[in-house]
Structure 1
Amino acid sequence: MEQMIDMRPAEPVFPLGLNETRTAWSAPRDEGAPARLLFVGCDAACPDVDRVAGVRLVAVVPSMRAAGHLRAMIAADILWIAGAQAIESETFADLMAAAAERQCGLVCETTLAALDRVAAAVPDALRTQWLVDADPAERLVALAAARPSARLAVHDISRDEAMERIDRLQDEVARISRLLGELAGQPGLAGAPRPGGGIVGYDTGVRAPTRDFSVMPRSFEPEERTRDRQRAKAVRHMLRQRRMREQYFAADLFADPAWDMLLDLYAARLERQPVSVSSLCIAAAVPATTALRWIKTMTDAGIFLREADPQDGRRIFIALSDGANEAMARYFEALDE
């Protein structure tokens, strides 16, 4: 692999004068040309780019020089960051700013322990593929998904079970969105595609209401709060039952991360508790990389929402949209009947 990597930038880099600043500009991209990849990390960690169609490795650079290198490139399509948890906060923030300026896709590798901190530093506008303790197949899938072209073409040698899971992901999320919309008595959840085209719920914007996460003494709880506590207890009991099945059968036999995350977020909302990205990944009961793909897809569909932590800007929370929350409430009301 080392023989195939040019440590020097393949794109020309022009020096700046003392009083000259560079405005981020990308040359028009030839649709038939391969996507240009800048890898941030060590040479040994670089993926086998030749196994993914339509991607060309431009350079491998250390994190300290990555932002400047990215800004100096004439064109960049994909930025891959390996070991994001080890990069200094200021260096990482500068790199994210450069990626936003160049409007390139991002593949970000980190650990589960650092996921909340790293995710909070990545701008929402970036098309991000997350990798947490990923295997080689997941890395190839992420690289294919990060390409600027809408069609994800991967050589047959890399099209394995992991790629098939990605193919099923969109269909599964669309099905869940339709079912939740029907339960809530709506034509579709906010963020879901309309049958005739367009997006539901984006005319006025969709945000979850601001919630008070403090808990008052139970002796002063209103009837609604008591009802919410009882419903939350029932939802948690359902989650425990789902986990118990894994003691007797293979865990992947019942893998349903979308439903597990919906249950966890619904219980948390009833409990007035925030849910971090890493916590939701654990609740999904699947590998973190798979859970992050589900979170991204469910967020894009308007079922989940990202909320900043008011106490810590380095962390974000995931919450149910109002439409999804209402659908979950109607579902459990139907179960009680």
Structure 2
Amino acid sequence: MNAYSTEHNSQTELTSAPVLIAGDSEASLRRAIMTVEAAGARVGAAIPLEQASERIEIQPSASAVWIELERDGGPVMDRLLAQVSHDASEGRYCAVVSASKDLLDLAFLGVGGSPVELLIDGNDAERAAALAVSTSGIHQYRKVSDIASDRSSERLRQLSDEVGRIASTLARLSSGPDATPRTIPELRTGDAPQIPAEAVRQVIRARRLRNRFFKEDLFADPAWDMLLDLLQAEIAQLRVPVSSLCIAAAVPATTALRWLKTMTDQGIFRRRADPHDGRRVFVELSPEASLAMRQYFAEVGPVGTV
């Protein structure tokens, strides 16, 4: 695989730190280059995955590192994701990992607990948005949308709204109208009601049934769908991998991962490593969230909820 080096004459681009690109194929490198250049950023270099770790160490400055993954790169990929996750958490640079859906679990295992933007099978608008979020924050969406098509601009606005909804929802979870902080009740022995598994399954089926009569995204509520799925799994004593939970969220994988990361940061979800497979991670409700869900179902009673 060849390494790509790009030179640009734009004075605006030359005054900003470049983006370092790493990919696992010629095609993945080309696609990442197109994304970065379309967003108005400068590409410092585009290199094979196996050379990325060393290049990152010697790179004097970079506005971001973009990693493009099409297949399982094994230990080389694992080490690079761990390095980027650590560096991004330390504030050394911003990072985006773009991966295929087949790599969802591995990608989340590598960078899911860090500020790295994780993009799964993203379209052009979502890829540009991921770079904008990573390097400039949510308020830069308008700047990126200036170079997108009308359709892409609409998608970028939706992504901006999506991030805003996450922030607003979590703000409501953590504080009431009087801004007094609230937390999920502490778990106490004997407090958790026993909820029939069928009661949770009926709610999940009812929610999915709505999609037969209305547009699927009309009732999108990934946080609640994931809470229901994890509660059902807990009652059935099943373990839930990241990819399965993203399917249960009934939204695009990138959106589900954003919610998953935020809910984990809030202590509502917990990550648990698979003791039999070091390259897999499961998600479960925290004890406090489990108690809250069970008490909710107990109070709602046989009326049920959707």
In the superposition, the TM-score normalised over structure 1's length comes to 0.70
> What is the CA-CA distance between 1:262 and the residue it aligns to?
0.7
Is 1:188 the equivalent of 2:183?
yes
**1:164 aligns to what?**
161
Could you report, residue by residue, the CA deviation over 1:288-324 in whole angstroms, capped at 9, with x for unpaired residues? 1111111111112221111111121110011112221
**1:136 aligns to what?**
124
Specify the code of the residue in structure 2 equivalent to 1:121.
G
Aligned residues: 268
In the superposition, the TM-score normalised over structure 2's length comes to 0.76
* CA pair 98-261 structure 1, distance change in 2 beyond 3 A: closer
The answer (yes or no) to whether the contact 1:137–1:160 under 8 Å persists in 2 is no
Q: What CA RMSD, in Å, does the superposition of the two structures yield over aligned residues?
A: 3.1
The answer (yes or no) to whether the contact 2:116–2:134 under 8 Å persists in 1 is yes
* Greater relative CO (CA pairs within 8 A, separation 6+): 1
Specify the code of the residue in structure 2 equivalent to 1:280.
L
Give the SS at the match of 2:98: strand
Give the SS at the match of 1:296: helix
**1:232 aligns to what?**
197
**2:46 aligns to what?**
60
**1:95 aligns to what?**
80
> What is the CA-CA distance between 1:151 and the residue it aligns to?
6.1
> What is the CA-CA distance between 1:332 and the residue it aligns to?
0.6
Gaps of 5+ in 2: 8-14, 147-152
Specify the code of the residue in structure 1 equivalent to 2:51.
R
* CA pair 90-231 structure 1, distance change in 2 beyond 3 A: same
Give the SS at the match of 1:314: strand
User: Hey, what's the Cα distance between the residues in 1 that align with 2:247 and 2:293?
Assistant: 21
Give the SS at the match of 1:317: strand
Is 1:325 the equivalent of 2:294?
no
Give the SS at the match of 1:86: coil
Specify the code of the residue in structure 1 equivalent to 2:74.
S
The answer (yes or no) to whether the contact 1:79–1:105 under 8 Å persists in 2 is yes
> What is the CA-CA distance between 1:51 and the residue it aligns to?
5.6
Specify the code of the residue in structure 1 equivalent to 2:78.
A
The answer (yes or no) to whether the contact 2:100–2:120 under 8 Å persists in 1 is yes
User: Hey, what's the Cα distance between the residues in 2 that align with 1:178 and 1:105?
Assistant: 30
* CA pair 56-175 structure 1, distance change in 2 beyond 3 A: farther
The answer (yes or no) to whether the contact 2:132–2:140 under 8 Å persists in 1 is yes
User: Hey, what's the Cα distance between the residues in 2 that align with 1:130 and 1:233?
Assistant: 34
**2:230 aligns to what?**
265
**2:10 aligns to what?**
none
* CA pair 280-189 structure 1, distance change in 2 beyond 3 A: same
**1:26 aligns to what?**
none
> What is the CA-CA distance between 1:247 and the residue it aligns to?
1.0
User: Hey, what's the Cα distance between the residues in 2 that align with 1:95 and 1:104?
Assistant: 14
Q: In percent, how many aligned pairs have the same letter?
A: 37
> What is the CA-CA distance between 1:141 and the residue it aligns to?
1.9
The answer (yes or no) to whether the contact 1:308–1:317 under 8 Å persists in 2 is yes
Gaps of 5+ in 1: 1-5, 11-32, 180-185, 191-200, 202-207, 209-223
> What is the CA-CA distance between 1:129 and the residue it aligns to?
1.4
Give the SS at the match of 1:137: helix
User: Hey, what's the Cα distance between the residues in 2 that align with 1:35 and 1:296?
Assistant: 28
Specify the code of the residue in structure 1 equivalent to 2:36.
V
**1:153 aligns to what?**
140
Q: Which residues of 2 match residues 195-274 of structure 1 at below 5 A?
A: 228=194, 231-274=196-239
**1:283 aligns to what?**
248
Larger Rg: 1
Is 1:104 the equivalent of 2:93?
yes
Q: Which has the higher helix share?
A: 2
**1:213 aligns to what?**
none
User: Hey, what's the Cα distance between the residues in 1 that align with 2:292 and 2:171?
Assistant: 15
**2:300 aligns to what?**
335
> What is the CA-CA distance between 1:38 and the residue it aligns to?
1.1
> What is the CA-CA distance between 1:177 and the residue it aligns to?
4.7
Specify the code of the residue in structure 1 equivalent to 2:252.
P
The answer (yes or no) to whether the contact 2:22–2:68 under 8 Å persists in 1 is yes
User: Hey, what's the Cα distance between the residues in 2 that align with 1:123 and 1:246?
Assistant: 30
User: Hey, what's the Cα distance between the residues in 1 that align with 2:16 and 2:262?
Assistant: 25
The answer (yes or no) to whether the contact 1:70–1:98 under 8 Å persists in 2 is no
**1:183 aligns to what?**
none
User: Hey, what's the Cα distance between the residues in 1 that align with 2:42 and 2:286?
Assistant: 39
Give the SS at the match of 1:48: helix
Give the SS at the match of 2:278: coil
**1:72 aligns to what?**
58
